[in-house]
């Protein structure tokens, strides 16, 4: 029998993982998602054919895996409400919430549960996600394998043995699609300022990012060498890269990522007190 997975929360992240799972051949019959209103559920039900519901407790009655995909700020209330049903069924818990430690989730759910903390990202929707995973001590090998299988269906999986490193994963991949989308915005705006139609600039920028990522992933050369190969001495790229370095591009990226990881740690501090 297929592993039954229930998503508590049906927003951007749950939708991306569910969409990616179905694309990879997971049966929609084995997937359920919940949300307090039908607004988020109708598209998932109609487009992907999964089961949906507004009652979290009812939705986990048959679940082998429960993916907690609500905002960190409401996780305490959601977990408290699920405590009895979860303790009765004892499914594998996978939390995708930023910041919240596995121990906190476990405590809110009544304790002694196998909890995997996962930091995914939204490109999971197209099977190109990147997830960092951490297993709490109660997770056994079979459950680790199950979490790997689920998240590998939507992209790359990297396990960390030190939970604190998930804050770094949040900075490097969880939040990072947004950095690249910002770059696309800036490149499109600059392309338009240089005279290109907006849609042409957008397509060229996105294809170039896709090409650069694909090339870097297939190459045994590091990014510094690949960058050098584009830079003809005295040419155009050299001028562009010099302009970026002069403007402090590296420091801007590093500061943003430090701020991201620090915010994840701060959220654990703020929310974990409950």
Ligand X SMILES: NC(=O)C1=CN([C@@H]2O[C@H](COP(=O)(O)OP(=O)(O)OC[C@H]3O[C@@H](n4cnc5c(N)ncnc54)[C@H](O)[C@@H]3O)[C@@H](O)[C@H]2O)C=CC1
Measured CA to CA, the distance from residue 214 to residue 140 in angstroms comes to: 35
Residue 159 CB contacts under 8 Å (≥ 6 apart), including other chains: 132, 133, 134, 135, 144, 148
Position with the least CB separation from ligand X = 11
Residue closer to ligand X by CB (options 143, 170) is 170
Residue closer to ligand A1CAB by CB (options 98, 116) is 98
Binding range to ligand X, per CB under 6 A, among 19-27, 91-99, 155-163, 221-229: 91-99
Does the annotation place 9 within a ligand binding site?
A: yes
Q: Which residues pair with residue 115 across a beta bridge?
A: 93
Minimum gap (Å) between residue 254 Cβ and ligand A1CAB: 18
For residue 127, state whether it binds ligand X (rule: CB under 6 A).
no
Read off φ and ψ for residue 260, nearest 5 degrees: -65, -50
3-state secondary structure of 152: helix
For residue 21, state whether it binds ligand X (rule: CB under 6 A).
no
The residue from 100, 151, 170, 172 that contacts ligand A1CAB (CB under 6 A) is 170
Binding range to ligand X, per CB under 6 A, among 3-11, 43-51, 84-92, 220-228: 3-11
Count of residues that interact with ligand A1CAB, criterion CB under 6 A: 4
Does the annotation place 35 within a ligand binding site?
A: yes
Residue closer to ligand A1CAB by CB (options 95, 175) is 175
**Contacts with ligand X in 142-161 (CB under 6 A)?**
none
For residue 175, state whether it binds ligand A1CAB (rule: CB under 6 A).
yes
Residues 65-104: x/- map of binding to ligand A1CAB (CB under 6 A)? ---------------------------------x------
Which residue stretches of the chain are H helix? 12-23, 38-48, 56-59, 72-89, 102-108, 141-152, 165-169, 176-193, 198-218, 223-230, 236-246, 249-271
Residue 74: contacted member of ligand X, ligand A1CAB, none (CB under 5 to 8 Å, by partner type): ligand X
Residue 108 CB contacts under 8 Å (≥ 6 apart), including other chains: 75, 76, 79, 80, 83, 274
Minimum gap (Å) between residue 188 Cβ and ligand A1CAB: 22
Does the annotation place 63 within a ligand binding site?
A: no
Nearest to 32 by CA among 115, 101, 240, 55: 55
Contact by Cβ (8 Å): 48, 21: no
For residue 258, state whether it binds ligand X (rule: CB under 6 A).
no
| Long-range Cβ contact pairs of 174-179 (< 8 A, separation 24 or more) | 174/98, 174/119, 174/120, 174/121, 174/132, 175/121, 175/260, 176/121, 177/121, 177/122, 177/123, 179/253, 179/256
For residue 174, state whether it binds ligand A1CAB (rule: CB under 6 A).
yes
Pull the structure tokens for residue 4. Answer: 């039954």
Bridge pairing between strands 155-159 and 31-34 = unpaired
The residue from 108, 174, 176, 205 that contacts ligand X (CB under 6 A) is 174
Return residues touching ligand X (CB under 6 A). Answer: 8-14, 34-36, 40, 56, 69-72, 74, 78, 96-98, 119-122, 174
State the binding site for NADP(+): 8-13, 35, 69-72
């Amino acid at each position: 029998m297929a592993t039954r997975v229930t998503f508590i929360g049906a927003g951007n992240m749950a939708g991306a993982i569910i969409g990616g799972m179905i694309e990879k051949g997971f049966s929609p019959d084995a997937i359920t998602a919940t949300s307090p209103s039908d607004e988020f559920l109708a598209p998932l039900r109609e487009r992907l054919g999964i089961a949906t519901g507004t009652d979290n407790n009812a939705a986990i009655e048959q679940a082998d895996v429960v993916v907690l995909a609500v905002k960190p700020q409401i996780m305490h209330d959601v977990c408290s409400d699920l405590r009895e049903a979860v303790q009765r069924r004892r499914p594998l818990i996978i939390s995708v919430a930023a910041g919240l430690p596995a121990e906190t989730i476990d405590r809110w759910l009544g304790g002694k549960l196998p909890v995997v903390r996962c930091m995914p990202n939204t490109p999971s929707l197209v099977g190109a996600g990147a997830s960092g995973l951490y297993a709490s001590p109660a997770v056994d090998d079979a459950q680790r394998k199950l979490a790997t299988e689920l998240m590998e269906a939507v992209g790359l999986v990297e396990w960390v043995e030190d939970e604190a490193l998930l804050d770094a994963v949040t900075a490097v991949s969880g939040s990072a699609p947004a950095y690249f989308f910002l770059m696309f915005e800036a490149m499109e705006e600059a392309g338009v300022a240089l005279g290109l139609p907006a849609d042409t600039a957008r397509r060229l920028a996105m294809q170039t990012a896709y090409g650069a990522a694909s090339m870097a992933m297939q190459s045994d050369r590091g990014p510094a060498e690949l960058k050098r190969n584009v830079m003809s001495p005295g040419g155009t790229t050299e001028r562009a890269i010099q302009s970026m370095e002069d403007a402090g591009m590296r420091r801007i990226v590093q500061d943003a990522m430090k701020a991201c990881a620090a915010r994840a740690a701060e959220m654990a501090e703020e929310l974990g007190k409950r």
